[in-house]
Amino acid sequence: MSAEVDQRGRAGATTEDIQAHYDVGKEFYRLWLDPGLTYSCALWDGITGAPARTDLLLEAQRAKLRYHLAQAGISADSRLLDIGCGWGSLLRMAAEETGVRQAVGLTLSADQHAHVCSLGLPGVDVRVQDWRDHEPDEPYDGIVSIGAFEHFTHVDMPRDERITAYRSFFARCAAWLPPRGRLSLQTIALAGDSVLDGPVPAFFAREVFPGSALPRLSEIATACEPHFAITALREDGADYARTLRGWSTRLLRAREQAESLVGPGTYRRYRTYLRASEIVFMRQVSTLYRITLRRWPCRSR
């Protein structure tokens, strides 16, 4: 079903919505993402040069993953949860570089799940599971969630309902962490008091990310307040414009292969979406936040 509230009354993208976008197939995404298949804004601190260059895109993506692992307090021996693990680039870094004891990844995409399983990462357990259904056997030392938060509500929800939905996410994360445990969250958001209306958001909602919506910083702050302190905040919209430019250029260069894999219609839809998104970030209608949250010692404040 593509309804924005599913049969269990949940807001946001359904499994079918997610699979319609991500299960276009990793061979298509491989043409224009970095070799680690990270599908979210990279971190370009100190990296200069064309964002379409494979080595630079990979370096910026790895810098981002390393940043979030550090912000979540993950080290060797940690137990990590990655909510919205994509094709597993963070899990891979955690397993191979950090040497975590255990890592669990959640995704709603069957294609992503199959890919992460095929990597055979030591100590990594990946599931096709909504975070709302996750019941861990023991707490995690840290949680990372990159680029999934945008899928947790839909555009027609009033502000108070969105805050309630976000609050239930933060409540669950807090319950899975020890006191002072950290969540490192990355999400696109509406910038300032900007409003997304007109044909571009309608195209996104209809053809790119059905059942999804951008939060405002104030909604995130209100929703997390009973459960978490915000200890660091980065506003990195320019990094997303740059990442999107890289992806867009790479997809254009791979046009022939892309069209033969997914057809000209899907190719055109992705080209339009990547270009339009870059413009939205350049105009600062939307932006990108990387937020570090620390669980309050007492959950019921």
Ligand X SMILES: C[S@@+](CC[C@H](N)C(=O)[O-])C[C@H]1O[C@@H](n2cnc3c(N)ncnc32)[C@H](O)[C@@H]1O
Positions that interact with ligand X (CB under 6 A) = 13, 18, 22, 38-40, 83-86, 89, 106-109, 112, 130-131, 146-148, 151
CB of 229 to ligand X, least distance (A): 23
Nearer to ligand X, 130 or 239 (CB): 130
d(C-alpha 237, C-alpha 295), whole Å: 26
- Indicate the Cα dihedral angle 147, 148, 150, 153, nearest 10°: -170
Integer Cα distance of 244 and 273 in angstroms: 10
Give the residue with the Cβ less far from ligand X, 112 or 292.
112
Do 79 and 100 meet the contact criterion of CB atoms below 8 Å apart? yes
The two tokens of residue 191 are: 């910038």
* Nearest distance from C-beta of residue 36 to ligand X, angstroms: 8
Q: How far is the CB of 109 from ligand X (least distance, A)?
A: 4
CA distance 190 to 11: 19
Rounded CA-CA distance 288/147 in Å is 10
| Shortest spacing between CB 45 and ligand X, in angstroms | 17
Tell me which residue has tokens 């981002």: 64
* Min separation Cβ 189 and ligand X, Å: 14
Query: How wide is the angle at C-alpha 291 spanned by C-alphas 83 and 196, nearest 5°?
Result: 90
> For ligand X, which is the closer residue by CB, 114 or 229?
114
CA dihedral angle for residue 44, residue 47, residue 52, residue 56, rounded to 10 degrees: -100
Minimum distance, C-beta of residue 298 to ligand X, in the bound complex (Å): 27
